[in-house]
Copies of this chain bind each other. A is one copy, B any other.
Amino acid sequence: MAQRWTLARSSRDVGRFVQQARRRRGLSQAALADELGLTRQYVSEVESGADNLYITRLFEIFDELGIDVRLEERGADGKG
């Protein structure tokens, strides 16, 4: 079963995770786009790791797919 979390270091990592989460919910790109008032083309660009994506738009997609974004300072848990 695909992992339900990932450490993202690039828009490509973000796109791959969005695609997995969308598929797990049985949504097509078009269905997700409709829910958010976006174009299917835009969802496809997000999933292929386009780097000209605004963070606010991504938060809308994350919220729709139930994805939490946890920011953590490396070494914050003492492991260094």
What residues make up the interface of A, taking CB atoms closer than 8 Å to B? 4-11, 13-14, 17, 21, 24, 51-56, 58-59, 62-63, 65-77
Instruction: Tell me the interface secondary structure of chain A in the complex.
Output: mixed
A52 and B58 alpha carbons, distance in the complex (Å) = 11
What are 10 A-B contacts with C-beta separation under 8 Å? A6-B71, A9-B69, A11-B56, A51-B54, A53-B54, A53-B55, A66-B74, A68-B72, A68-B73, A70-B70
Would you give the shortest CB distance from A55 to chain B, in whole angstroms?
5
Most buried by B among A17, A52, A58, A72: A72
Q: A67-B73, A70-B70 are in contact. List 12 more A-B contacts (CB 8 A).
A: A4-B73, A5-B73, A7-B70, A14-B55, A24-B73, A55-B55, A55-B58, A66-B75, A67-B72, A68-B71, A69-B70, A70-B71
